[in-house]
Chain A
Amino acid sequence: MLSKGLKRKREEEEEKESLAVDALWLDPGHAAVAQAPPAAASSSLFDLSVLKLHHSLQQSEPDLRHLVLVVNTLRRIQASMAPAAALPPVPSPPAAPSMADNLLASSDAALSASMASLLEDLSHIEGLSQAPQPLADEGPPGRSMGGAAPSLGALDLLGPATGCLLDDGLEGLFEDIDTSMYDNELWAPASEGLKPGPEDEPGKEEAPELDEAELDYLMDVLVGTQALERPPGPGR
């Protein structure tokens, strides 16, 4: 409607969802209980924001204002997706929200830690020491694919980006990477555990977990060296 350019039908639907949740969010009378529709729309905004963060960091010199605003918006969305934290108390099964809360809290910590390293990289520019700019995978991963892309691909992607100046030191870059996370069962083949088609999410406890896995994947691609420590999710 507003942007020129090709829009796939699915994106239009997401946009309509997002506009709908925008209206929902703006309506103070609406009980913003985290049932499936707002959660799904929030999560599409979340994905969009992660995408923007992605693309912003792909620039050789990211626009700091754009970056900071996107990160802050991402944090807001994430905070709203934590059902217990942001909303008035609602009777709900105790196990799921607390687990989701833990996952989101830990992924928030992961997000913070990842952003820390990314912004540290930017600060290295000032110190004139070469820090690898994390390069992202080509194009956004589809939502249903989530963490399916091979994790080790991230290391390959980091290579060419910095290779022009660090041909000699490339090995040295990756010396201290803790590869134990790649042995973690969570990074098992995509066929296990991940559900496609998040718009059809049946229950709310599924949505945060899926997004969290996607977030992990993207953070892994972006950072490549962060060790994500958290308990295994439910149902695995």
Chain B
Amino acid sequence: MIPGVGTLTQDTLWCFSQVKGTIEIGTTEADIISTVEFNHTGELLATGDKGGRVVIFQREQESKNQIHRRGEYNVYSTFQSHEPEFDYLKSLEIEEKINKIRWLPQQNAAYFLLSTNDKTVKLWKVSERDKRPEGYNLKDEEGRLRDPATITTLRVPVLRPMDLMVEATPRRVFANAHTYHINSISVNSDYETYMSADDLRINLWNFEITNQSFNIVDIKPANMEELTEVITAAEFHPHHCNTFVYSSSKGTIRLCDMRASALCDRHTKFFEEPEDPSNRSFFSEIISSISDVKFSHSGRYIMTRDYLTVKVWDLNMENRPIETYQVHDYLRSKLCSLYENDCIFDKFECVWNGSDSVIMTGSYNNFFRMFDRNTKRDVTLEASRENSKPRAILKPRKVCVGGKRRKDEISVDSLDFSKKILHTAWHPSENIIAVAATNNLYIFQDKVN
């Protein structure tokens, strides 16, 4: 690894690389990006949006002539993954918004990814076609069948090169297994199964079987009046194919072992931090609700995001996290307003860098935050068009909490709560990050010396 990659030292400077999306104000809601994900090599970057579309970017090959421009991402494929549906039986509209995309590891020339909306998961195959067969015997050049009587010779069709075409085809559709809204999908390390989680249940699928799934977690109470908690996120362990975690709206994480029983209603481990009595309020539960849970690449830690903090947990210690990072603690005194305008229900995601030494998550005003777990340094950066000159270095931002506001600081009351960074992604091995700001996708890289 390049020295400096994977740490957030004073020397790490983040630069603007690219931005995708339109500049117009008043964009359609369909263009709002709802998920971002690099594939396992970082060669591809996928986004899903509210309109049910998936856009895949591919990193161009680095050329020796342009050392300063480390491979840029260009559009590789665009397709409509999900369409709006109407469930006539229940008189319900099913949104086409893509909630999550997860890549499968590459096993041949084609790329595979899972994309899901609230109800249906689909497996897409993205493949290239750059050759075309010519010289059919039974068909003419337009593909029409020839009259057999006119065929007098036999020839072997040959493959001729053609312009590169990237096709996306739906290979599997996994439907009708979720009553509630799917919030997570996770590919198992065995590459044969994956899970999908909704508010109350988690199902295990085999990639080859679409008409059946196994229910492995069910927290629906017998009497719905006893419902006080929902599942908010779930993920498989990166190496142990029998282990997964799921988080709840009450700020707890359960680790389950599928070998223990068919229905994993009894957890193997239960992670919960006791409530801090000095911070108790009416909103304690809402802000403790976990919006994202991610295993570290090593599989030794899990990271959780709740409304105000990011926490790192050691799998071997259940009673409290080993690290807690304040994302935007200045909002603690504003919870009532944030409850009123529903911002308190926003679901932020969090990501690890490739070496698990830095974690990143989004905030408001198009700010996003990075925390270095080793140096304990943190930085606030902004995704905005103003900082969008090529290779422009991003200047750290600061929110002024009270008292005198310095020149470059922004006061809490000036923050724009409609500009939220909910979805971010980090390249698996390099310091390249993708940040979704409403309908724009920003790509930042660290400065190449």
Residues of A near any B CB (own CB < 8 A): 1-4, 15, 18-19, 22-23, 25-26, 28, 45, 48, 52, 60-61, 63-66, 68-69, 71-73, 76-77, 80, 112-113, 115-116, 119-120, 122-123, 125-126, 128, 164-165
- On chain A, the residues within 8 Å of B333 by CB distance are 19, 22-23
Q: Are A65 and B224 in contact (CB under 8 A)?
A: no
Chain A's closest residue to B345 (CB) is A66
Complex partner residue of B335 from A22, A61, A65, A72, CB under 8 angstroms:
A22
Q: Is B375 an interface residue (CB 8 A)?
A: no
Q: Are B92 and A65 in contact (CB under 8 A)?
A: no
Provide the bound-state CA to CA distance between A28 and B285, in Å.
18
- On chain A, the residues within 8 Å of B341 by CB distance are 2-3
Q: Are B90 and A128 in contact (CB under 8 A)?
A: yes
**6 closest Cβ contacts across the A-B interface?**
A116-B225, A119-B224, A3-B341, A64-B199, A126-B179, A18-B336
Provide the bound-state CA to CA distance between A60 and B91, in Å.
8
Q: How far is the CB of A9 from chain B (nearest CB, A)?
A: 15
Q: Are B279 and A120 in contact (CB under 8 A)?
A: no
Q: Is the interface of A mostly helix, strand, loop or mixed?
A: helix
Q: Is B191 an interface residue (CB 8 A)?
A: no
- On chain B, the residues within 8 Å of A77 by CB distance are 282
- On chain A, the residues within 8 Å of B230 by CB distance are 64-65, 68
Chain A's closest residue to B179 (CB) is A126
Q: Are B225 and A2 in contact (CB under 8 A)?
A: no
Interface code B241-276, partner A: CB below 8 Å = 1, 0 otherwise?
000000001000000000000000000000000000
Q: Are A120 and B225 in contact (CB under 8 A)?
A: yes
Provide the bound-state CA to CA distance between A5 and B179, in Å.
35
Complex partner residue of B282 from A1, A25, A60, CB under 8 angstroms:
A25
Complex partner residue of A4 from B278, B280, B281, B418, CB under 8 angstroms:
B418
Q: How far is the CB of B220 from chain A (nearest CB, A)?
A: 8
Chain A's closest residue to B418 (CB) is A4
Q: Is B283 an interface residue (CB 8 A)?
A: yes
Q: Are A25 and B281 in contact (CB under 8 A)?
A: yes
Q: Are A112 and B285 in contact (CB under 8 A)?
A: no
Provide the bound-state CA to CA distance between A63 and B92, in Å.
13
Q: Are A69 and B181 in contact (CB under 8 A)?
A: no
- On chain B, the residues within 8 Å of A64 by CB distance are 180-181, 199-200, 227, 230
Q: How far is the CB of B44 from chain A (nearest CB, A)?
A: 31
User: What is the total of A-B residue contacts with beta carbons within 8 Å?
Assistant: 111
Provide the bound-state CA to CA distance between A13 and B90, in Å.
42
- On chain B, the residues within 8 Å of A122 by CB distance are 224
Q: Is B214 an interface residue (CB 8 A)?
A: no
- On chain B, the residues within 8 Å of A48 by CB distance are 339-340
- On chain A, the residues within 8 Å of B179 by CB distance are 125-126
Q: How far is the CB of B389 from chain A (nearest CB, A)?
A: 29
Q: Are B91 and A164 in contact (CB under 8 A)?
A: yes
Q: Are A2 and B92 in contact (CB under 8 A)?
A: no
Provide the bound-state CA to CA distance between A15 and B289, in Å.
23
Q: Are B336 and A68 in contact (CB under 8 A)?
A: no
Complex partner residue of B90 from A18, A63, A125, CB under 8 angstroms:
A125
Q: Are A2 and B277 in contact (CB under 8 A)?
A: no
Provide the bound-state CA to CA distance between A119 and B199, in Å.
14
Q: Is B223 an interface residue (CB 8 A)?
A: yes
- On chain A, the residues within 8 Å of B418 by CB distance are 4
- On chain B, the residues within 8 Å of A69 by CB distance are 249, 285-286, 289, 345
Q: How far is the CB of B22 from chain A (nearest CB, A)?
A: 21
Q: Is B229 an interface residue (CB 8 A)?
A: yes
- On chain A, the residues within 8 Å of B152 by CB distance are none
Q: How far is the CB of B7 from chain A (nearest CB, A)?
A: 35
A2-B345 contact given A64-B199, A69-B285, CB 8 Å threshold: no
Q: How far is the CB of B307 from chain A (nearest CB, A)?
A: 11
- On chain B, the residues within 8 Å of A15 by CB distance are 336-337, 340
Q: How far is the CB of B207 from chain A (nearest CB, A)?
A: 26
Provide the bound-state CA to CA distance between A126 and B92, in Å.
12
A65-B289 contact given A77-B282, A115-B225, A116-B224, CB 8 Å threshold: yes
Chain A's closest residue to B224 (CB) is A119
- On chain A, the residues within 8 Å of B285 by CB distance are 69, 72-73, 76
Q: Is B413 an interface residue (CB 8 A)?
A: yes
A68-B282 contact given A3-B341, A125-B90, CB 8 Å threshold: no
- On chain B, the residues within 8 Å of A25 by CB distance are 280-282
A3-B337 contact given A22-B281, A60-B91, A125-B179, CB 8 Å threshold: yes
B316-372 interface with A by 8 A CB criterion: 333-343, 345
A65-B249 contact given A2-B343, A60-B92, CB 8 Å threshold: yes
